[in-house]
Amino acid sequence: MYYIPPSRGGRKGGAMCGIAGILNFRNGPVSPNSIEWMLSQIQHRGPDESGIYIGEGIGLGNVRLSIIDLATGQQPMTTPEEDMWIVYNGEIFNYIELRDELRNLGYKLRTSSDTEVLLLLYRHYREKCLEKLNGQFAVAIWDSNKKELFLARDRVGIRPLFYSLKGDSFVFGSEIKSIFASGLVNPELHPDGLNQVFTFWSALSPNTIFKNIFEVPPGHYMKISASNGIREPKSYWHLQFKNGKGIPSNPPAEIPDNVVSLKDRQRKFQETLDQFESLLRDAIRLRLRSDVQVAAYLSGGIDSSATTYYIKQIEPGVLNTFSIGFDDAEFDETLFQQMVSSQLDTNHEAITCYRKDIGENFRKVLWHTEIPLLRTGAVPMYLLSGNVHKNKVKVVITGEGADELLGGYNIFKEALIREFWAREPESKVRPLLFGKLYPYLQQFQGKNKQLLKFFYGFKLTDTGNPLYSHQIRWHNAQQVKKYFTREFAESIQSDPVEALMNRLPVGFESLDLLSRAQWIEINQFLSSYLLSSQGDRMSMANSVEGRYPFLDHRVIEFCASLPADYKIKGLNEKYLLKKLMTDKLPSEVVRRPKQAYRAPVANGLLSEGPGGFMEEMLSPGQIQPAGIFQPDLVEKLLARLKESTLPTENENMALAGILSTQILLDLFMNGHNPFPEKKLHSPCRITYDKKIAHEKQTLLQKHPPHR
């Protein structure tokens, strides 16, 4: 197990947690029972401790997964003057350096926790403190003097934070289910939110699939005043790409004077490589700060293998690694996981995901994602974190983010090939490049070239469209919408692609194609889909904290400044990372083309056979009352899937999308919680504001309870 002793890493009060709260604009009382019930719905995020603060018109709550400063990091936490209170889900990895800064400013810290560091930073700098943080967090701070609530979320939205305004009350929580548990907001499906999911795989921030439920967008903060109401979320950080065209990968034999020499190019590349390694190594070093065991995920790809390599370099002790494989060879990467574990000498534990596991766990997974899914990849991640929890590990380091930052996804290469092909649309040779992208996909094997050309030729010459890179993905996802009933389709009020177009930043069109594609992927896909369905939600479902070195904001900003051919050279993705890891990892892992993480869909969801829960959720008796999908079309889809041994991508997406929507309706609208309703595992500490405490004591003296 991995452990940084206090003498080397320091101690702090960071913790993966769940937070919740209610602000009453009329200064009315907030019941601690309401906050406790909200916390009970998200106690998987923090089963170790729980606490509540009740002030005038405010209630704040926290459930804590203790990771660092186990003794003094309890929340809610207050300032010495007891005029500010904080509940906080996250880790500030540079808390040691920030603690020294506070001491130099004259502050005396009472704990060794990063929670206190964050609270005092806010007291001193207000919202400007966010610019100093290197971490992953969702935070709420109550200023009792100003009667003002401050909410903020980390730069790329690693940790979730939702809110709702209902009557005189503002309600917030780490997960939507806690807001529903307040009793102030009822679950109601938002047609536009669902329409966005069936286009982008996620809703457009700050929207969700539920009416009157919003998220604090990544890299934003909010201020909510008891007297002045809500102020719109404000951005404190946004992703900026430099034009990534860079220097041509293959300069002409006679290099013009205005183009640097090949020797200079090589020197510049080596300098960039050294900078990248230094930043990545430091990002990993910071994320090893912990008072509990830290392990690593090992998927068999280069991203998690790279982070595992540097963990061993920084702390060459015993390291536990965890992975998941599949009984279907099409999805399995076990061989590569074993290669890396063997070379790096890790204590490795692997589990296998079987088809039946997909169907058996899909409902539980949706309870945690709170959004329909067009894929099933969340289920294996749920099982994986469950195995980590079983091994009594609370923290894992993972490789998420590398694909987005360094051009790892095939959608980036698809866009580059399509743009190349569009220059000569009649070319018979250029479309053949697509055959190199998906050698592992059975459904593309043996297909005639004309069919592939048809698939990738959708709006081929529309290269002037700023959203060109994602047109095929969104077109395919939208096939699910043909199952909508006419009434539901007519209730949709906005076009999602047009809505996204209106949000593009100034100068977006001037960026090169790869930079535009990366911006879309990071802003629309990373937080609201990937980190939600495969990151935070799936790890915290089993009380495990994920840490993501590639999502250190310094690494993000550095990668956004790189030339395109440092990311994708020819059709070789993540070129910079592969160069960095050459001779450090097995060559089979470094050289292998990107294999997208995937899991069985139809074969898994329908594995229980006729008459099972999944088929019941797709039956006319369930579909028709919901009023979203046409029962006859769903029946036809189900019949085709039963007859087919190789469903198409569109059929798989339709099944997952329709089924997950129906299950979510059952979970939240019908109240069929897949987990037994429980009280908080740990006794809940309740702290009252001094004035309220005095009033309660006076009341008890006048009217003592009956005995």
Q: What would the pLDDT profile of 333-360 be if each residue is shown by its tens digit? A: 999 999 999 999 999 999 999 999 999 9
Average per-residue pLDDT in the chain?
90
Q: Locate tokens 């097995």: which residue? A: 586
Q: Is the pLDDT of residue 270 over 80?
A: yes
Q: Is the pLDDT of residue 155 over 70?
A: yes
- Answer yes or no: is 648 within a domain: no
Top pLDDT among 659 and 699 is at 659
Domain boundary among 597, 616, 633: 597
Q: Is the pLDDT of residue 108 over 70?
A: yes
Q: What is the DSSP string of 40-81?
A: HTTGGG-BSEEEEEEETTEEEEEEEEE-S-TTT--SSEE-TT
Q: Are residues 223 and 372 in the same domain?
A: no
Give residue 227's pLDDT band: very low, low, confident or very high (50, 70, 90). Answer: confident
Domain extent for 326: 239-597
Q: State the Cα angle at 408 between 407 and 413, rounded to 5°.
A: 70
Q: Is the pLDDT of residue 332 over 60?
A: yes
Q: What pLDDT, on the 0 to 100 scale, is given for residue 454? A: 75
Q: Are residues 250 and 113 in the same domain?
A: no
pTM: 0.93
Domain boundary among 597, 617, 645: 597
Q: Locate tokens 């329709």: which residue? A: 658
Taking the C-alpha atoms of residue 296 and residue 310, their distance in angstroms, rounded to an integer, is 11
The proportion of the chain whose per-residue pLDDT surpasses 70, expressed as a percent, equals: 90
DSSP, collapsed to helix, strand or coil, labels residue 589 as: helix
CATH code where residue 263 lies = 3.40.50.620
Burial of 640 per CB tally in 10 Å (0-12, 13-18, 19+): middle
Tens of pLDDT along 575-629?
A: 999 999 999 999 999 998 877 888 999 999 998 877 789 999 999 999 999 999 9
What 8-state DSSP symbol labels residue 189? B
Q: Is the pLDDT of residue 558 over 60?
A: yes
Give residue 455's pLDDT band: very low, low, confident or very high (50, 70, 90). Answer: confident
- Answer yes or no: is 703 within a domain: no
Q: Locate tokens 């309740």: which residue? A: 686
Q: Are residues 243 and 233 in the same domain?
A: no
For residue 35, give both structure tokens: 């906050």
CATH code where residue 160 lies = 3.60.20.10
Whole-angstrom CA distances from 61 to 17, 122, 139, 174, 378 are 10, 19, 11, 11, 28
Average pLDDT (15-33) is 91
Q: Are residues 20 and 68 in the same domain?
A: yes
The proportion of the chain whose per-residue pLDDT surpasses 90, expressed as a percent, equals: 75
- Cβ atoms of 17 and 34 closer than 8 Å: no
Taking the C-alpha atoms of residue 119 and residue 364, their distance in angstroms, rounded to an integer, is 35
- Answer yes or no: is 608 within a domain: no
Average pLDDT (386-415) is 96
Q: Is the pLDDT of residue 2 over 50?
A: no
Q: How many domains does the chain have?
A: 2
Q: Are residues 234 and 261 in the same domain?
A: no
Top pLDDT among 681 and 273 is at 273
Q: Is the pLDDT of residue 423 over 70?
A: yes
Q: Which long-range contacts (CB under 8 A, 24 or more apart) does 667-671 make?
A: 667/363, 667/366, 667/367, 668/177, 668/180, 668/187, 668/210, 668/370, 669/187, 669/188, 669/189
Give residue 248's pLDDT band: very low, low, confident or very high (50, 70, 90). Answer: very low
Q: What pLDDT, on the 0 to 100 scale, is given for residue 252? A: 40
Whether the upstream peptide bond of residue 251 has omega within 30° of 0, thus cis, is: no
Q: What pLDDT, on the 0 to 100 scale, is given for residue 447? A: 54
